[in-house]
Amino acid sequence: MKTNVLSCTVIGYDGHILTLRAVCDDIDYIVDHQIKTGTVTLDDGLHISGKQMRAIHATFRDIAEFTGNPDELTKTSLKLMYAKAKGIDYFSFSDLTMTAAGEFIDWLLAWCVENDIPLSEKLAARCDDIRRILYACLLHKRCAVCGAPAELHHVDAIGMGGDRKEAHHGGRLAMSLCRAHHTEAHTISFPEFCKKYRVEPVKIDRRIAAKYKLLY
């Protein structure tokens, strides 16, 4: 099934329902295939920033250096992967809004975490949505601060005399930290640690619980 791009204009909002007027060059395809649902992306009118471009290209360089692939091949391959994952056409960075660029950066950094790609600077310095990156770090056991191999750091106390193996962890707060940063988190207050490294704890869901073999 091909991707159809509709040009939309917001014509009304009653506090609950957003009404759009859409124009499509291939309405026959939509009718013939009985397409009734889709995803709407609203252009915030702000195009990709210089800071976002620098973050993207710095991450491409880190990936190329680690994999040994040429810079251009790295860029093209990752853009194709993202387009396929999102179900969109191949794109040019110059056409991206700040919102779309931020989504790409967050996806790119999460991909680096998942594939153990070391970065030349801390994750928080590059991402738009730190929560997505912190979740990826926790899921793939990478330090939320430096990206090194890590283990789960419980933020919520289990309780005096409680057995972590017997306790249910669903909804509890946690963070993945390497040994050095885990020690630091215990040395200084946790709020101070989070402020210093621009990180925050993540709620444990079923995927995280399964990864660490915890009761949910």
Mean pLDDT by 10 residues, the chain (216 residues): 68 84 76 79 75 94 96 96 95 92 94 92 85 92 92 75 68 94 93 93 93 89
Give whole-number Cα distances, 108 to 62, 69, 118, 190, 208, in Å. Answer: 11, 16, 13, 28, 20
Domain range enclosing 20: 1-40
Residues 135 and 119 both lie in one domain = no
Residues 97 and 136 both lie in one domain = no
Residues 134 and 200 both lie in one domain = yes
Where among 124, 155, 185 does a domain terminate?
124
Residues 33 and 55 both lie in one domain = no
Alpha-helix runs per DSSP H in the chain: 27-32, 50-67, 71-86, 98-114, 130-139, 179-187, 190-197, 206-211
Residues 215/185, Cβ–Cβ less than 8 Å: no
Polymer length in residues for the chain? 216
In a domain, 54, yes or no: yes
In a domain, 166, yes or no: yes
In a domain, 185, yes or no: yes
Residues 23/6, Cβ–Cβ less than 8 Å: yes
Residues 76 and 12 both lie in one domain = no
Residues 141 and 181 both lie in one domain = yes
pTM over 0.75: no
Residues 23/7, Cβ–Cβ less than 8 Å: yes
Residues 114 and 138 both lie in one domain = no
| Cα angle, residue 116 at apex, residues 112 and 117 outer, rounded to 5° | 55
* Total structural domains within the chain: 3
In whole angstroms, give the CA distance from residue 104 to residue 60.
Answer: 12
In a domain, 216, yes or no: no
In a domain, 45, yes or no: no
In whole angstroms, give the CA distance from residue 78 to residue 124.
Answer: 21
